[in-house]
Homo-oligomer: A and B are copies of this chain.
Amino acid sequence: MASSNHLKLLGGWFSPFALRVKIALSIKSLVYEDIEEDTLNSKSQLLLQSNPVHKKIPVLLHGDKPICESRIIVEYIDEVWNSGPSILPSDAYDRAMARFWAAYIDDKLCVAMRHALREEDEQARKAYLEEIEDSLATMEGELQKRCREGKGYFGGEEIGLVDITFGSLLCWVSVLETMNGRKMIVEEKHPCLVKWAERFEFDPNVKGLIPETEKLIEFAKALLMMLKAAAAAK
């Protein structure tokens, strides 16, 4: 039986969703057991028991209690521990806006990225890449408002929910850029995003946690081959 405060993260080095949880744990200076799930080949009994509905990483185990879904885990960490800066704003309206943009990133950007990665038809893939660029333009517009107020993060002076949700995807944007020979976050169009992305990657709570693009590309290729084989076997 685990102590009621012991923290275990069921994650994967490649997962932007597990990365969100790692950053939140780092912001709160929390020590945790980092359990690498081999989701490509087989899911552990612990994962299947802890997230029987979605059977997906990440899961945070707080003692015996499993918490699932990355943004819900980040909010939980913020609400339970005050051993570091707040991740969500203290004002209710600002908090609603942070939740709005975090949901936008998952519902629009993230969905388009998943399609762009898996789509084999070039024309269809191009349309998804354009959707990604539309979302990036929207986020640049939002960030420019913060920049005008002299703030470097969506969350203000420090990394917040929107920075974590969006920043965790940057390494996968690089993967798509490399695989498609198309730069998507560029200085001329996204002056604020470019600076923000650099600031984010070198933030003490993020540095060292982001996987290398080359390794992610290898992983992506293996994943795509597996999906193709699974589709062919149907």
A34 on the B face (CB < 8 A): no
Bits for A49-93, please: 1 = Cβ < 8 Å to B, else 0.
000010000000010010111001101100110000000000011
B62, A75: Cβ atoms closer than 8 Å: no
Q: Cβ of A138: which chain B residues have Cβ within 8 Å of it?
A: 53
A104 on the B face (CB < 8 A): yes
Residue of B nearest to A51 (CB): B100
Query: Given the complex of chains A and B, what is the CA–CA distance between A99 and B74 in angstroms?
Result: 12
Query: A93 is contacted by which of B67, B100, B104 (Cβ under 8 Å)?
Result: B67
A124 on the B face (CB < 8 A): no
A151 on the B face (CB < 8 A): no
Please name 10 further chain A to chain B contacts, defined as beta carbons within 8 Å, in addition to the given A69-B103, A75-B96, A76-B92, sorted by A numbering. Answer: A53-B138, A62-B93, A67-B93, A67-B100, A69-B99, A72-B100, A72-B103, A75-B99, A76-B95, A79-B92
